[in-house]
């Protein structure tokens, strides 16, 4: 960060003395700033003549409209015998790949995908654990100018089809199963139902993990194991299709709060520049360092992690439970592989504290210089725990952004102190602010997190969104021309930021965005349930999902029915969708147009005033949710 700032001073005749000066300049001069990031980080490609067109429009601004580049080419910078990927799968698997071995696998996958008809703009969907093959597949897909989309294998059939069914993949890649908390979970039967409803997938590829890949592939139409898929092709030099800056590389998915998830399309150049900026400058990630994030392929932090290859870092992947086979498994991993940057969730840090883990005394974490935390706000006591029980001289960076931008709005920076309970501040180039409901800047107090100027990693579009109507409604309807993110936030006296959680109906337990519609789709198939409403309750430094159910006359909510509801959600959606509490309720508030109103219920649960009760057809129903004893334990 310091070297970058000094280069800017020399390049533009500036006198930027500290981070606040640097940030202010970066948002005031976006064309010059992102041009400098491109050069400082050595982006591979042709920059073209123009840096920013229509810079005052949001949406509508275009960064580097004349540029040509390939995302995978920028990640595949090394081809030698140094370690590119380290993988651990609980205690079931351990592997390493060199850059040369990764390059060879990408080459064979690229050729196999081409033979399957995959080309520019086609979609490849993956339902995989966090294994090296997933990274190689993404690189092969994006090298061709195709689009990569993923989820984790614990998603239920409906959850997978709600996502991949919309984007019509030409190739579908899955594993034969996965391990979690020591349990072997085969998914062959689920795959049959999924593949049946993905008719556009001309090829289905099964990556071995449990040892069942041959049998699973034989049971599915159009299917082959990974080994068979690449068998006809010998490794050779990977070719890269250089495409426009905004050419799509990823489709990520919204939570599905009001229906099927929105398909958020991210472009090559914006994703690359944002990740390089965050990793090279904000994290100071260096070639050869060990870079870890505890994530799945269903979370945008996986997409963020794998970009570490563009910094020539070694990716440390982990799949499975973070507490299996022993509570210390991730700290064991950090010690054995000498991890330099350790990324995780606020929930994990809280759980480690409650489990009494004290790695500062039990582990050699001398290589560890940075811990990043996201997914939910990091509580002040978790800051204390990290510095007391993990490492006293580590840079603890609480960060916050989202799937919507596949990066961060606010994050850490290595030039300023860490203050307990606070995110250090906005990322470079991000014109972040906190606004009142009336659209005015707030110096203090809670308000809406906004971004007032364009940035490169705004979505290119939503899939199947003719004219961009859904896109504009998602981010620019509340404050026209300004990005409204849906987080409650406030400035601190230090210039830092505190995030207080979501201001919309999206659920966010353990940092995983969950749509209420995905829960309702499962629950309301149970005959005893008439309708339901789910909210997130702030609880012990995180958010827990609370499900209220209105039952048929004469039905009571006993333990057996609660278990059946939870099992249905687990199997039909995912384990992360399962509510912590299921509570019977007599009525559910709804708007005059008939829509249930999660935000109003959530406000009542938290003792907050409900805005605009006149819009409700039955506002008296809100009283049913006040001061419920079941929500106090």
Q: What CATH number should be reported for the domain holding residue 617? A: 3.30.300.30
Structural domain ending residue among the three candidates 470, 502, 534 = 502
Asked if 97 and 136 sit in the same domain, the reply is yes
263 pLDDT more than 80: yes
509 pLDDT more than 70: yes
Could you read off the pLDDT of 559-569 as tens digits, one per residue? 999 999 999 99
Structural domain ending residue among the three candidates 203, 220, 241 = 241
Q: Using the 8-state DSSP alphabet, how is residue 407 labeled?
A: E
Confidence of residue 346 (pLDDT cuts 50, 70, 90): confident
464 pLDDT more than 90: yes
**With a threshold of 0.75, does the pTM exceed it?**
yes
pLDDT for the residue 272:
98
pLDDT for the residue 431:
98
In terms of pLDDT, which residue wins out, 500 or 194? 194
322 pLDDT more than 50: yes
Asked if 488 and 528 sit in the same domain, the reply is no
Is there a domain that residue 617 lies in?
yes
User: What would the two tokens of residue 239 be?
Assistant: 């070719």
204 pLDDT more than 60: yes
Asked if 120 and 148 sit in the same domain, the reply is yes
Spell 613-629 as b/e; 16+ CB within 10 A means b: eeebeebebbebbeeee
pLDDT for the residue 518:
78
256 pLDDT more than 60: no
- Cα–Cα distance for residue pair 281/130, rounded to 1 Å: 26
Mean pLDDT of the 475-500 span: 94
Q: Which of 178, 99, 194 is nearest to 139 (CA)?
A: 99
Could you read off the pLDDT of 347-372 as tens digits, one per residue? 899 889 989 999 999 999 999 999 99
- Cα–Cα distance for residue pair 141/633, rounded to 1 Å: 47
* Distant-in-sequence, close-in-space partners of 193: CB < 8 Å, separation ≥ 6: 157
Q: How far apart are the first and last CA of the chain?
A: 45
314 pLDDT more than 90: yes
Asked if 535 and 507 count as a contact pair (C-beta separation under 8 A), the reply is yes
Confidence of residue 599 (pLDDT cuts 50, 70, 90): confident
Q: What is the largest CA-CA distance in the chain?
A: 77
pLDDT for the residue 615:
63
Mean pLDDT of the 548-576 span: 93
In terms of pLDDT, which residue wins out, 351 or 145? 145
* Distant-in-sequence, close-in-space partners of 205: CB < 8 Å, separation ≥ 6: 171, 172, 173, 174, 223, 224, 225, 226, 229
Asked if 263 and 233 sit in the same domain, the reply is no
User: What would the two tokens of residue 552 be?
Assistant: 């048929």
Q: Which of 282, 272, 342, 334 is nearest to 303 (CA)?
A: 272
Is there a domain that residue 69 lies in?
yes
Determine the Cα angle at 399 with ends 299 and 130, to 5°: 25
593 pLDDT more than 70: no
Inter-CA distances, 107 with 101, 150, 375, Å: 10, 20, 34
Q: Which CATH number does the domain housing residue 174 bear?
A: 3.40.50.980
Asked if 113 and 40 sit in the same domain, the reply is no
Confidence of residue 515 (pLDDT cuts 50, 70, 90): low
Asked if 343 and 217 sit in the same domain, the reply is no
Asked if 277 and 422 sit in the same domain, the reply is yes
pLDDT for the residue 257:
45
Q: Across the chain, what does the average pLDDT equal?
A: 94
Could you read off the pLDDT of 275-294 as tens digits, one per residue? 999 999 999 999 999 999 99
Is there a domain that residue 195 lies in?
yes
Asked if 35 and 107 sit in the same domain, the reply is no
Sign of the dihedral defined by the CA atoms of residues 15, 21, 27, 33, in that order: positive
**How many domains are contained in the chain?**
3
Asked if 566 and 626 sit in the same domain, the reply is yes
Is there a domain that residue 586 lies in?
yes
266 pLDDT more than 50: yes
Q: Which of 506, 479, 476, 501 is nearest to 488 (CA)?
A: 501
Q: Using the 8-state DSSP alphabet, how is residue 541 labeled?
A: T
273 pLDDT more than 50: yes
Asked if 289 and 370 count as a contact pair (C-beta separation under 8 A), the reply is no
Beta strands per DSSP E along 436-561? 447-451, 461-462, 483-491, 497-502, 529-539, 542-551
In terms of pLDDT, which residue wins out, 164 or 522? 164
411 pLDDT more than 70: yes
Helix (H), strand (E) counts: the chain: 20, 32
127 pLDDT more than 60: yes
147-151 and 123-127 beta bridge pairing:
parallel
Is there a domain that residue 508 lies in?
no
Asked if 181 and 213 sit in the same domain, the reply is yes
62-63 and 52-53 beta bridge pairing:
antiparallel
DSSP element (H, E) containing 173: strand 171-175
Structural domain ending residue among the three candidates 209, 241, 273 = 241
Is there a domain that residue 509 lies in?
no
Asked if 92 and 220 sit in the same domain, the reply is yes
The residue range of the domain holding 582 is: 514-632
In a 13 Å sphere around the CA of 216, the CA atoms on its Cβ side amount to: 27
435 pLDDT more than 90: yes
């Amino acid at each position: 960060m310091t070297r970058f700032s000094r280069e800017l001073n020399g390049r533009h005749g500036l006198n930027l003395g500290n981070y606040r000066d640097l940030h202010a300049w970066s948002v005031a001069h976006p064309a010059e700033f992102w041009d400098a990031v491109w050069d400082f980080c050595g982006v591979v490609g042709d920059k073209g003549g123009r840096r920013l067109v229509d810079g005052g429009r949001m949406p509508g601004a275009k960064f580097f409209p004349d540029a040509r580049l390939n995302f995978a080419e920028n990640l595949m910078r090394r081809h030698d015998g140094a370690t590119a990927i380290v993988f651990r799968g609980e205690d079931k698997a351990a592997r390493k790949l060199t850059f040369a071995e990764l390059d060879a696998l990408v080459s064979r996958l690229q050729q196999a995908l081409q033979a399957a008809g995959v080309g520019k703009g086609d979609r490849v969907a993956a339902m995989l654990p966090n294994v090296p093959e997933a990274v190689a597949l993404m690189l092969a897909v994006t090298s061709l100018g195709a689009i990569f989309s993923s989820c984790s294998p614990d998603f239920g059939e409906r959850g997978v089809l709600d996502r991949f069914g919309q984007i019509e993949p030409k190739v579908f890649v899955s594993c034969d199963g996965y391990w979690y908390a020591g349990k072997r979970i085969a998914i062959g039967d689920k795959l049959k139902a999924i593949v049946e409803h993905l008719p556009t997938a001309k090829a289905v590829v099964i990556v071995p993990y449990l040892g069942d890949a041959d049998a699973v592939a034989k049971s599915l139409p159009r299917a082959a194991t990974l080994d068979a898929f690449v068998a006809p092709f010998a490794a050779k030099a990977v070719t890269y299709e250089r495409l426009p800056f905004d050419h799509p590389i990823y489709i990520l998915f919204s939570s599905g709060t009001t229906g099927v998830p929105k398909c958020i399309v991210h472009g090559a150049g914006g994703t690359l520049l944002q990740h390089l900026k965050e990793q090279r400058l904000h994290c100071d990630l260096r070639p050869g360092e060990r870079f870890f994030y505890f994530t799945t392929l269903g979370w945008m932090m996986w997409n963020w992690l794998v970009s570490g290859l563009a910094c020539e870092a070694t990716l440390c992947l982990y799949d499975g439970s973070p507490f299996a086979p022993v509570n210390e498994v991730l700290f064991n991993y950090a010690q054995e592989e000498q991890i330099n940057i350790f990324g995780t969730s606020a929930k994990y840090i809280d759980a480690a504290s409650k489990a009494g883990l004290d790695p500062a005394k039990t582990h050699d974490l001398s290589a560890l210089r940075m811990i990043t935390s996201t997914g939910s706000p990091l509580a002040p006591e978790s800051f204390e725990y990290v510095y007391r029980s993990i490492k006293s001289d580590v840079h603890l960076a609480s960060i916050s952004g989202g799937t919507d931008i596949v990066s961060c709005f606010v994050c850490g920076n290595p030039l300023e102190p860490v203050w307990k309970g606070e995110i250090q501040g906005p990322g470079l180039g991000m014109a972040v602010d906190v606004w009142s409901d009336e659209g005015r800047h707030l110096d203090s107090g809670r308000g809406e997190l906004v971004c007032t100027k364009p940035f490169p990693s705004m979505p290119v579009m939503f899939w199947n969104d003719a004219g961009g109507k859904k896109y504009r409604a998602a981010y620019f309807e509340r404050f026209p021309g300004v990005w409204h993110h849906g987080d409650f936030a406030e400035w601190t006296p230090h210039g830092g930021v505190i995030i207080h959680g979501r201001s919309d109906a999206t659920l966010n337990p353990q940092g995983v965005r969950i749509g209420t519609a995905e829960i309702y789709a499962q629950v309301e198939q149970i005959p005893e349930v008439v309708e339901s409403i789910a909210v997130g309750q702030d609880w012990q430094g995180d958010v827990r999902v609370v499900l209220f159910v209105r039952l048929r006359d004469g039905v009571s909510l006993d333990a057996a029915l609660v278990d059946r509801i939870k099992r249905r959600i687990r199997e039909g959606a995912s384990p992360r969708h399962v509510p912590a509490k299921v509570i019977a309720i007599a009525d559910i508030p709804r708007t005059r147009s008939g829509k249930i109103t999660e935000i109003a219920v959530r406000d009542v649960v938290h003792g907050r005033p409900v805005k605009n009760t006149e819009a409700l057809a039955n506002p008296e129903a809100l009283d049913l949710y006040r001061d419920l004893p079941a929500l106090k334990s």
